[in-house]
Amino acid sequence: MPDVTLTTLRALKQKGEKITMLTCYDATFADACCKAGVEVLLIGDSLGMVLQGHDSTLPVSMADTVYHTASVKRGNAGALIVADLPFMANATVEQTLHNAGLLMQAGAHVIKVEGAAWLAESITKLAERGVPVCAHMGLTPQAVNILGGYKVQGREHNQARQMVADAIALEQAGAAMLLLECVPSDLAGEISRAVKVPVIGIGAGPDTDGQVLVLHDMLGLSLSGRVAKFVKNFMHGQPSIQGALAAYVKEVKAVSFPAAEHGFSA
């Protein structure tokens, strides 16, 4: 697979080809994902739940994320690497710049931050210093205690209008990508059309520019036994993990995943 860059992703959006992203936390799975054609690898703070066994992403540290980013970097063969800033790692602009630098030095190509329009200043400062940013909107797991749980965001009219405005504001601030989590499908499609940067969805319907799932979820692995509505087990009918990864890429590209049952209405 040729090296994937932000230019690659913008070109895919422009021609209407879906982008594939999966979370990834180590060198072996980085290699397997690249062989399957996954274009973007996300070192998500989801590692706190699926690797460390916590009940939320909040305990994940910068040291954890740096370690796993470096691990993914060593197994990567051409994918774009996006790494999460964990909980409270971007509480101030200065802290954001410092911690983003650590992740970029560990091997990230893009830094992901959770929030809304309040991120604009940090995003601009990062972009000015050569650090591309993916802004994570909608259900932001680091704010789970404010949100009152893992709930769909943007169902109310005013909240939906604000989300569209925030997406445009973050693009104008310099965001290179957006990620929408647990957003009504129609709203996610509207946001994807309102901005020029690639928009990746998880639980956001089929009309975003690409899709992401947590690796363990799409392989049918769950500590809790609970499966989110937007998850599909791609191990079903496959003889191997490599086959499941390839099936995920094929279905996202064919726009057969996510199907209607994986999305949310307003």
Q: Which residues are annotated as a binding site for 3-methyl-2-oxobutanoate?
A: 45-46, 84, 112
Q: Which residues are annotated as a binding site for Mg(2+)?
A: 45, 84, 114
Q: What is the pLDDT of residues 3-20, one digit of tens each?
A: 999 999 999 999 999 999
Whether residue 213 contacts residue 202, with contact meaning beta carbons closer than 8 Å, is answered with yes
Q: The whole model's pTM is what? A: 0.96
Predicted local distance difference test score (pLDDT) of residue 135: 97
**Ranges assigned E (strand) in the chain:** 19-23, 40-43, 80-84, 110-114, 133-138, 177-181, 199-202, 210-213
Structure tokens given for 35: 């062989």
Instruction: Specify the amino acid at residue 59.
Output: P
Residue spans per domain, the chain = 6-262
Q: Report which DSSP code applies to 116.
A: S
Average pLDDT, the chain: 95
Query: Is the pLDDT confidence value at 198 over 90?
Result: yes
- Catalytic site residue from 39, 171, 181, 251: 181
Query: Is the pLDDT confidence value at 150 over 70?
Result: no
Name the residue among 110, 105, 99, 138 with its Cα closest to residue 19. 110
Regarding predicted confidence, which is higher, 226 or 111? 111
Whether residue 103 contacts residue 111, with contact meaning beta carbons closer than 8 Å, is answered with yes
Query: Is the pLDDT confidence value at 1 over 80?
Result: no
Predicted local distance difference test score (pLDDT) of residue 140: 84
Per-residue pLDDT, averaged over 123-140, amounts to: 95
Structure tokens given for 135: 């802004």
- Determine the 3-state secondary structure of 80 from DSSP: strand
Question: Measured between alpha carbons, how far is 177 from 67 in angstroms, rounded to an integer?
Answer: 23
| 261 counts as catalytic | no
Measured in degrees and rounded to the nearest 5, phi and psi for residue 177 equal -150, 160
For domain 6-262, the question of CATH label 3.40.50.2000 is answered with: no
Q: What is the pLDDT of residues 17-56, one digit of tens each?
A: 999 999 999 999 999 999 999 999 999 999 999 999 999 9
Per the rule left: phi > 0, alpha: psi between -120 and 50, beta: everything else, 225 is: left
